[in-house]
Amino acid sequence: MSKRETDSKPWSGRFSEPVDAFVEAFTASVPFDHRLYRHDIAGSIAHARMLARTGILDTEECQQIVGGLQDIREDIDAGRLVWSVALEDVHMNIEARLIERIGDTGKKLHTGRSRNDQVATDIRLWLREAIDGIDAELLRLREALIDLAEREAATIMPGFTHLQSAQPVTFGHHMLAWQEMLSRDQARLRECRQRVNIMPLGAAALAGTSFPIDREYTAELLGFDAPARNSLDAVSDRDFAIEFSAFASILLMHLSRFSEELVLWTSAQFGFIDLPDRFCTGSSIMPQKKNPDVPELVRGKSGRVYGHLMSLLTLMKGQPLAYNKDNQEDKEPLFDTVDTVAACLRAYADMMPAVAVNHERCRAAAGAGYATATDLADYLVRKGVAFRDAHEIVGKAVQHALGKELDLADLELTDLQQFSDAIDSDVFDVLTLEGSVAARNHPGGTAPDQVRAAAKAARQQLDQRHGAAR
């Protein structure tokens, strides 16, 4: 950041002393909002074109402005523009460079506009692009989970409640549970995009402008669905950023849940899966360690994303209409939320296809902990025993098996029959893990056939949405 002769404030007219050096740095946003430059320039070009179309600028002036802005964009792309803190923000930096470059015509660009509607427009354009990138990463991760679900549709693992062995499930079913969470996240993101894609330009400082502008035209040039309906709301509304952060918080909450399970599953005690070395790191002291850093870090990153949601909510709480300088504080939390979400999704979408499932370990764990006890109770019900009685009978059988340190399936038939004479030799069909999962054969159930059907349906839904026009 630098200070140059030409860096005098565009608003210095009514001031009798220069702004304090500390205050200048304290109030500047260019150290972080320069990231909006491409969107700021796109917004300015559309604004200039609209001004020419409505006759507020002449064609020659418009061409000069557009050409100048395009050159400035190239300079910034190439790292040739030195940002000036004295010029406060990205908007005034670019405007000053434009005037420097094309002369007095550059001073006409800001006609019928204010930095208040300009910045609100820039953030929306920037966030819309970010949302589209995140949307694509979400799709990639969902595809990876569906692939994994198909691959492991018949792989048996323990299902847990209270993190205690509950009933056997298939690994594919578990992956599709994650996929469901992400499909809701994606729906939330796409809804949010609709409210992001509304154009503040034309609201000017707060009350609109006295120039005969054509907001529909500017909106069309910038790909907005519509101009904002109320100028006061347009310059002060940051709901869309809060909404995006709420989406991001729920997504990170989901990713933190996946992460917790992956961390457990990679431990020596579980050993259900293996993550490739390229997603892990070692310990500087314990030579045997291979740490699941990626899931751990993603789990941890939920904290900052929740924090940004709280920052934005608190930033907006109690703000009177219309624009207030407080709003400048919207950018850093929003930028970091986008960066964090994009990075976490990318890591997950790259990592999930590389997960290796240890079938033997999963199966052995599913066999422990009397996971088929419910199947025995259901069996008794089918033989005419009332469910509550069946529950009691199986409880006693489990207690007996515990005493012998055997699984239910390993007890002798005669041993089992002492608990109920409804038990026959066909009982062993339901006590197997395969029998248990195959029996849950209805839509939404864990049976391998159901998992395959659900994976297929999920894939179709993805493909349809892929092509769907926004």
| Residues making contact with ligand ARG (CB under 6 A) | 29, 33, 89, 115-116, 119, 323, 325, 327-328
What does the alpha-carbon distance between residue 89 and residue 269 come to, in Å, rounded to a whole number?
54
Is residue 375 within 8 Å of residue 390, measured between CB atoms?
no
The tokens for 102 are: 């094309």
Cβ proximity to ligand ARG, 32 vs 428, nearer residue:
32
Helix (H, G, I), strand (E, B) or coil at 451: helix
The tokens for 437 are: 């999962």
Q: How many helices (H) and strands (E) does the chain have?
A: 19, 6
Q: Which amino acid is at 147?
A: D
Neighbours of 160 (CB within 10 A): 17
What does the alpha-carbon distance between residue 402 and residue 411 come to, in Å, rounded to a whole number?
11
Alpha helices in 317-372 (DSSP H): 331-351, 359-367
Helix or strand holding residue 184 (H, E): helix 171-196
Neighbours of 208 (CB within 10 A): 17
What does the alpha-carbon distance between residue 38 and residue 368 come to, in Å, rounded to a whole number?
59
User: Among 424, 322, 444, 442, which Cα is nearest to 379's?
Assistant: 424
Using alpha carbons only, how large is the chain's radius of gyration in Å? 31
What does the alpha-carbon distance between residue 89 and residue 123 come to, in Å, rounded to a whole number?
13
Cβ proximity to ligand ARG, 35 vs 195, nearer residue:
35
End-to-end CA, the chain: 40
The tokens for 194 are: 């609709």
Q: How far is the CB of 235 from ligand ARG (least distance, A)?
A: 9
Cβ proximity to ligand ARG, 162 vs 325, nearer residue:
325
Residue in 2, 8, 267, 283 annotated catalytic = 283
Neighbours of 138 (CB within 10 A): 21
Whether 34 sits among the annotated catalytic residues: the reply is no
What does the alpha-carbon distance between residue 145 and residue 353 come to, in Å, rounded to a whole number?
8
Whether 47 sits among the annotated catalytic residues: the reply is no
Q: DSSP label at 284?
A: S
* Phi, psi angle pair for 126, to nearest 5°: -65, -45
Is residue 238 within 8 Å of residue 313, measured between CB atoms?
no
Beta bridge partners of 170: 156
What does the alpha-carbon distance between residue 46 and residue 293 come to, in Å, rounded to a whole number?
45
What does the alpha-carbon distance between residue 69 and residue 48 come to, in Å, rounded to a whole number?
10
Residue in 162, 284, 425, 442 annotated catalytic = 162
Beta bridge partners of 169: 157
Give the relative orientation of helices 239-266 and 293-316 as an angle to the nearest 10 degrees: 160
β-pair type (198-199, 226-227): parallel
Catalytic residues: 162, 283
